[in-house]
């Protein structure tokens, strides 16, 4: 674990992490979804300004986001489970393929460059953003979720790409379940459990993947910046209600369009930095 830094740099890091948490919490509250999809690009922007090495900046952003997903997913899952809203059978079916996808993704993260990881995030963000912009409630691929092995394949893919994006899989799983006829409330509740299946093995794998890596910011355990995990969680929780107030003034469709535009802007910025 990297622990050394001069006090000026450490103070700047703390301020950058607090600012990241505040903005991410507010935007997550506005959009009603987002989590890591909002936090990763914001963390990346602030860490880049702070001068974190480009070779590890995206890795740290993704991994730290997943570290934050662990406690928030557990808390959310227990709350939804107490209300009986979680499809536990569905989660049981995904108890193996989703973590396997997450673990495979950490092996990939250990060998891809920061630019390649940024490209993966941008590519998936474009797909999700376009889906948000053109979404229709009437869209259906079927009346129920397909059985195995198709179900397991989808679980693996969601675990894999969610880990590389630093997200808990909420947006992807919500899309998957609703396209196969499940109610949105059940999809959201079940996604909290999917977040646990993704984030726990992903965090362990990303600690391994980044162990001994040079140029990590202070207080990093592998690619996970523990200072970020500790500071960002309470700030996002504090700031999210302010975003929720804004969200209540918007329609569901307006929030979908806003989130889609946000993701497309992030993807465009990442693409510009890669090709500009």
Give the residue, 16 or 119, on which the prediction is more confident: 119
Residue 88: other Cβ atoms inside 10 A = 11
pLDDT band at 14 (very low <50, low <70, confident <90, very high): confident
Q: What are 19-53's pLDDT values in tens digits?
A: 877 887 777 666 555 567 778 888 888 888 888 89
Which range of 8-17, 151-160, 185-194 scores highest in mean pLDDT? It is 151-160
Residue 66 has a pLDDT of 92
Residue 62 has a pLDDT of 94
Q: How far apart are the C-alpha atoms of 61 and 44, rounded to whole Å? A: 6
Identify the CA nearest to 177 among candidates 221, 135, 146, 207: 146
pLDDT at position 149 over 60: yes
Average pLDDT over residues 65-77: 84
Q: What are 157-192's pLDDT values in tens digits?
A: 999 999 998 887 777 888 888 888 877 778 878 888
What letter would DSSP give residue 141?
A: S
Average pLDDT over residues 230-241: 82
Give the residue, 270 or 240, on which the prediction is more confident: 270
Residue 180 has a pLDDT of 83
> For all residues of the chain together, what is the average pLDDT?
84
pTM beyond 0.75: the answer is yes
pLDDT at position 5 over 60: no
Give the residue, 256 or 227, on which the prediction is more confident: 227
Identify the CA nearest to 67 among candidates 160, 216, 167, 212: 167
Residue 1 has a pLDDT of 47
Residue 255 near residue 31, CB atoms below 8 Å: yes
Query: Exposed (0-12), middle (13-18) or buried (19+): which is 12, by Cβ within 10 Å?
Result: middle
Q: How many percent of the chain have pLDDT more than 90?
A: 28
Residue 97 has a pLDDT of 96
pLDDT band at 95 (very low <50, low <70, confident <90, very high): very high
Q: What are 115-146's pLDDT values in tens digits?
A: 999 999 899 889 888 887 887 766 777 677 88
Q: How far apart are the C-alpha atoms of 125 and 267, rounded to whole Å? A: 6
pLDDT at position 254 over 80: no
Residue 3 has a pLDDT of 46
Q: What are 194-216's pLDDT values in tens digits?
A: 888 999 999 999 999 999 888 89
């Amino acid at each position: 674990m990297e622990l050394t830094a001069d006090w000026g740099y450490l103070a700047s890091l703390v301020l950058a992490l607090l600012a990241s948490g505040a903005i991410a919490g507010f935007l997550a509250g506005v959009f009603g979804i987002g989590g890591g999809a909002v936090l990763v690009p914001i963390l990346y922007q602030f860490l880049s300004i702070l001068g974190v090495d480009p070779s590890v900046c995206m890795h740290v952003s993704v991994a730290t986001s997943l570290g934050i997903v662990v406690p928030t997913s557990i808390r959310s899952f227990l709350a939804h489970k107490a209300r009986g809203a979680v499809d536990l059978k569905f989660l049981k079916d995904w108890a193996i393929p989703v973590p396997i996808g997450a673990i495979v993704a950490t092996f990939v993260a250990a060998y891809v460059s920061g630019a390649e990881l940024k490209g993966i995030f941008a590519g998936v963000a474009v797909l999700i953003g376009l889906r948000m912009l053109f979404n229709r409630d009437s869209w259906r691929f079927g009346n129920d979720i397909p059985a195995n092995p198709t179900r397991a394949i989808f679980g693996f893919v969601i675990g894999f790409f969610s880990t590389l994006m630093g997200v808990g899989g909420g947006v992807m799983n919500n899309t998957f379940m609703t396209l196969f006829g499940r109610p949105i409330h059940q999809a959201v509740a079940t996604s909290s459990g999917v977040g646990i299946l993704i984030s726990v093995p992903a965090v362990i794998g990303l600690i391994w993947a980044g162990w001994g890596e040079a140029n990590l910011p202070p207080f990093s355990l592998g690619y996970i910046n523990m200072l970020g995990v500790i500071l960002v969680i309470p700030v996002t929780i504090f700031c999210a209600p302010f975003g929720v107030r804004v969200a209540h003034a918007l329609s569901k469709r307006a929030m979908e369009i806003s989130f889609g535009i946000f993701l497309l802007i992030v993807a465009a910025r990442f693409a510009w930095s890669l090709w500009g």
